[in-house]
Amino acid sequence: MDTIKQIVAGFRAQLPSDSKTAAAIDRGAPAEEISACAVAEGLHAFAGALFEACEVEATDGLPDSDTRPLDTIRARLADFRRDLPTDSATARAIDTGASLEEISEAAAQEGLDSLTALLVECEQEQLGGGR
């Protein structure tokens, strides 16, 4: 749940106070409701990151969870990439197949907090579980 909280907190700071997504976050709505609000408001990258964090959390401890988080992250990177401008350092890192750490660093420098939090969690999973 820590990753989900980090993603939500990081993104909340970027939302205007009249946003439905912000209102859902502020009242402590479940991640699924926050994600639905984000999709309705066109915040697809945030909704995707939140969904993936929920999925990683849900698969934690399952027999095939060793490969799912990394595969899921790589699939989500392709989705994030579509929303990035061509001159983005994060886009270039994704396009060149850089390591998750390098992509995370580029995302952090560009203020892509939800992507950064998701990648950091994946990196920690790899280090902690030998993934």
> What pLDDT does residue 123 have?
65
Q: Which residue has the higher pLDDT, 61 or 92?
A: 92
Break the chain down into helix, strand, coil percent, rounded to 5.
70, 0, 30
Which helix (H) or strand (E) segment holds residue 2: the answer is helix 2-12
Report how far residue 29's alpha carbon sits from residue 63's, in angstroms, rounded to the nearest whole number: 30
Cα separation, 122 vs 131, in Å, equals 9
pLDDT of residue 19: 92
On whether the CB atoms of residues 90 and 115 are closer than 8 A, the answer is yes
pLDDT at 99: 78
The model's pTM is 0.50
Tens-place pLDDT, residues 66-86: 455 556 677 778 777 888 888
The whole-number pLDDT of residue 17 equals 85
Check pLDDT > 50 for residue 1: no
CA distances from 57 to 37, 82, 102 (A): 21, 25, 23
From the list 100, 107, 96, 88, the residue with the least C-alpha distance to 125 is: 100
